Amino acid sequence: MSDGGVVLRRCDGDRVRSDHALRERIAAVYTTVFGEPPYEEPPDRGPRWAHGPLVRHAALPGFELVCAERAGALLGFAYGAIGRDDSWFAGYIRERAPREVAEAWLGGHGELAELAVDPQERGRGVGGALHDAVVEHLEQLGTGRVILVTQRAATAARALYAARGWRDLAELAPGSVLMGLRFTKGDAG
């Protein structure tokens, strides 16, 4: 990453849950990024997400949020946690993915839950740096593998993931793809 003064800041779940201003800054980036195609989320989704699901996710084991900033401006964020076998997300995957995929990838896995970079900062290595920081954290926790869900039409995001070794595991819904990354070399599972 040609850093241009970019700083990565790691935040644990307690910080995310207690820092309203941080969540507001994250909501603004979320709204910008996920308001674009292919997501086209409504403008009120960012604040609702930042003060609802993000706060709940911040209580998950192993949660870590990484923010990319320059001169105090939030350029992007990513976060992950250890996946829970009894979570809504695991149930969603079990209902939609082939049984062998769910059995091979769920349970003790890491989840790269969100990655968002302001459109004006794309192509400068910010997304890659955020990805690498979160995935490194999950690898250090000993998860062995990480999953995420993205849109097939999110070509830039999918290219970033593919360049870092992620592979498609299953289509969960029309246009929605489950991807996986294993840390153990030689494990084809």
Residue 103's SS3 state is helix
**With contact defined as beta carbons under 8 Å apart, do 72 and 10 qualify?**
no
Q: Which residues are paired to 70 by β-bridges?
A: 73
How far is Cα 146 from Cα 112, in angstroms, rounded to an integer?
Answer: 7
Given phi > 0 = left and psi -120 to 50 = alpha, else beta, which region is 145? beta
For residue 3, what pLDDT is reported? 64
Which residue carries 């004006």 as its tokens? Answer: 120
C-alpha angle 104-158-5 in degrees, rounded to nearest 5: 115
For residue 4, what pLDDT is reported? 78
How far is Cα 181 from Cα 112, in angstroms, rounded to an integer?
Answer: 10
How far is Cα 8 from Cα 69, in angstroms, rounded to an integer?
Answer: 6
Q: Residue-wise pLDDT tens for the chain (189 aa)? A: 446 799 999 999 999 999 999 999 999 999 999 999 999 999 999 999 999 999 999 999 999 999 999 999 999 999 999 999 889 999 999 999 999 999 999 999 999 999 999 999 999 999 999 999 999 999 999 999 999 999 999 999 999 999 999 999 999 999 999 999 999 654 444
Domains of the chain by start residue, with CATH: 7-182 (3.40.630.30)
Spell out where the chain has E strands.
7-11, 64-70, 73-82, 110-117, 145-151, 167-173, 176-182
pLDDT digits (tens, 9 = 90+) for 62-110: 999 999 999 999 999 999 999 998 899 999 999 999 999 999 999 999 9
